[in-house]
Chains A and B, each alone.
Chain A
Amino acid sequence: MNFNSELVEKLVNIYSPSGDENKIREFIKDEIKDFVDEVEIDSLGNLIARKKGKGKKIMLAAHMDQIGLMVTDIDDKGFLRFTNIGGISPILSLGQKVIFKNGTIGVIFAEPVDNMGKLKLENMFIDIGVLNKEEAEEKVSIGDICVYEIGFSENDNVIFSKCLDDRIGCFVLIETLKRVKNSDNDLYFVFTVQEEVGLRGARTSSYKINPDLGIAIDVTSSGDTPKAKRFAVSLDKGTAIKVKDNSILTHPKVRELMVQVAEENNIPYQMEVLEFGGTDSGAIHLTREGVPTGAISIPTRYVHSTVEMSSKKDINYSVDLLVKLLEKTI
């Protein structure tokens, strides 16, 4: 199977917490600039790349940001206290390694607790291996943000990594914009900021673009692990066409169009009816007078952990579906 692991690995290893997406934005900009007509960065930091066309304005959104931890206090011994940026689970964070923008490494641990189920972030700390406050302050300041630090792995079937949510969406968008050749549509590939804290970048960028059609590309959950909550999406069964989540009921015409394109091109797909969560599509479809919007999801296990897992086939099928969809006259 032809799968560009090298690019995925680069994407997941770039530091990019919500609110500080500079590094990944620069990387993506470099990666795509030869394939698009215009590139713009707006005031919240969204990267908007346009492939001009005479047809309908289509906005495609994948978010560049990842969940992280922000330092709120440094104590006399140099331990850092923190708050969450986005959905950080206390229990999944315990014992994890983190990295700051300047490369400083730390580990997350906790005060002694009797009941691990009651573990709270306010009882946890980051240890950056210093001996006192002064040493800590040379490396880290209050307000600095760190992200999980763990390597990328893969086998023939899947990739395992932190922040596949939503670097894999960025990857799908990048691959799509490289492959789309014959589109009449006016295409806006938007790499958004601050999705993890409330779809903020998608809200402002879709206002500016004022699209006729919106499509978000993001990970979704999976229901195929032992005793998983009932959810009819599995790894390796194809790209997922979103029907709903907590942020949107996708527009039936957009959904039908996706199904039609998948059927016409024999692209395996599954329908995603998610009973929680949200994606940039939630913000896009409520922009201005409303925008017909859908979403293509990559089934992913263990979302918001350091070991998120997606199937290479599903990722490739997602690119196939998007390319075919964009090449259609809408």
Chain B
Amino acid sequence: MLLKRLTEASGVSGNEKEVRDIIIEEIKEYVDNIQVDKIGNVIAYKRGKKDSPRLMITAHMDEVGFIITDINDSGLLKFTTVGGIDHRILVSKSVKVGKKQIPGVIGAKPIHLQKKGERLKTLSLDQLYIDIGVNSKEEAEDLVSIGDYITFYSEYVGFGNDLIKAKALDNRVGCNLLIDLLKSNTDLSFYAVFTVMEEIGLVGAGPAAYTVEPDISIILEGTLCSDGPDTEEHLIPTKLKQGPAISLLDRTTLFNIDFRKYIVNIAEKNGIPYQFRKTSFGGNDSGKIHQAKSGSTTATISVPCRYIHSPISVMAKEDYKNTCKLLKSILSEIEKGDF
């Protein structure tokens, strides 16, 4: 299954090759042109029968993770984070290290030995290390090097009532949606762009938009979902199983109101459930895309994902299906030429 392969692949920002290779393999039969630009974005073009506004659909390939900063004498690895990760979730997690995907665990002083004051505080990165099961610096250096990337290790598992748990649903779910769109029968020409380094500051999207010069872009995401009882109703950004989340605004974009309403109308006309992404926190590739060159129109459509930026993000299959349905409906509307 593609989403399993995509989420289990390693693709920490700046090291997206494994994910990129899977994507290229999947889409090459379905596109007319495919190019990997200088910083690693995949820019594919699918020529349809219809001329249209220059449409670009994007999803970022990268995920949050870590990088080795030092190896100590006993062979334990010191590390830093790449992208936004809550340090409180790190201890006792499984990881894979370096090109050889060496298994490791994030360790720390056990709670039994922590002093009273220490127990009350979150362990800082200084107090954590990655244990790859070796006894010395030399043994470690045979397997890994300073600068190697580290990825959370977490298997794709279906569970509960049609839910999925996996790492990196932010944003392999977006990649998967875009691949599905390329494989679907559409008469509309569009650019499919898989970007790099979104998690460290929307790095790949700017150059990609500079190259493509889109009139309209749709950014696909796996986004923030917090619908538990600990969040007040009006502060819930998105809810599971309420359909694709259409963004209102975030730190990087005020989404074009007319395009947003156009998308809402399409959802309503086709009986597709939808919700708004109601928080202004966070940002995504749209921030760079809509401000590239002389500017363009963007929208973001996301699959709600609980616990993102951790090894156990969770989404509902039905949200995926509805998002896919909405995207296909949007393409066929744009094809009719009324936006």
Contacts and interface: CB of A to CB of B under 8 A. Distances in A.
Contacts of A297: none
B254 A194 contact: yes
A19 interface: yes
A42 B279 contact: no
A139 interface: no
B81 interface: no
A203 B234 contact: no
Contact of A42 (B234, B249, B255, B295): B295
A75 B233 CA distance: 8
A72 B257 CA distance: 14
A262 B28 CA distance: 63
Contacts of B252: 198
A70 B291 CA distance: 21
B239 to A, nearest CB: 12
A193 to B, nearest CB: 9
B260 interface: yes
A142 B279 CA distance: 11
A142 B254 contact: no
Contact of A207 (B256, B257, B279, B293): B293
A142 B278 contact: yes
B120 interface: no
Prevailing SS type, chain B contact patch = loop
Given A19-B249, A43-B215, A207-B294, A197 B254 contact: yes
B1 interface: no
Contact of B233 (A73, A84, A194, A204): A73
Given A83-B279, A85-B254, A142-B276, A75 B234 contact: yes
Contacts of B254: 18-19, 85, 194, 197, 200
B294 to A, nearest CB: 4
B296 interface: yes
Contact of A73 (B215, B234, B293, B295): B234
Contacts of A200: 254, 290-291, 295
B297 interface: yes
Given A19-B257, A83-B279, A208 B294 contact: yes
B125 interface: no
Interface in A261-289: none
Contacts of B294: 42-43, 204-205, 207-208
B235 interface: yes
A72 B248 contact: yes
A205 B296 CA distance: 11
A73 B249 CA distance: 14
Contact of B248 (A18, A142, A208): A142
A18 B248 CA distance: 13
Nearest to A46: B295
Contacts of A150: none
B64 to A, nearest CB: 24
A19 B290 CA distance: 12
B280 interface: yes
Nearest to B248: A143
Contacts of B293: 204, 207-208
20 contacts: A18-B254, A19-B255, A43-B294, A43-B297, A70-B248, A72-B234, A72-B276, A73-B233, A81-B234, A81-B235, A85-B249, A85-B254, A142-B248, A142-B278, A200-B254, A204-B291, A205-B294, A207-B294, A208-B293, A208-B295
4 smallest A-B Cβ distances: which pairs?
A: A204-B295, A19-B254, A81-B234, A73-B234
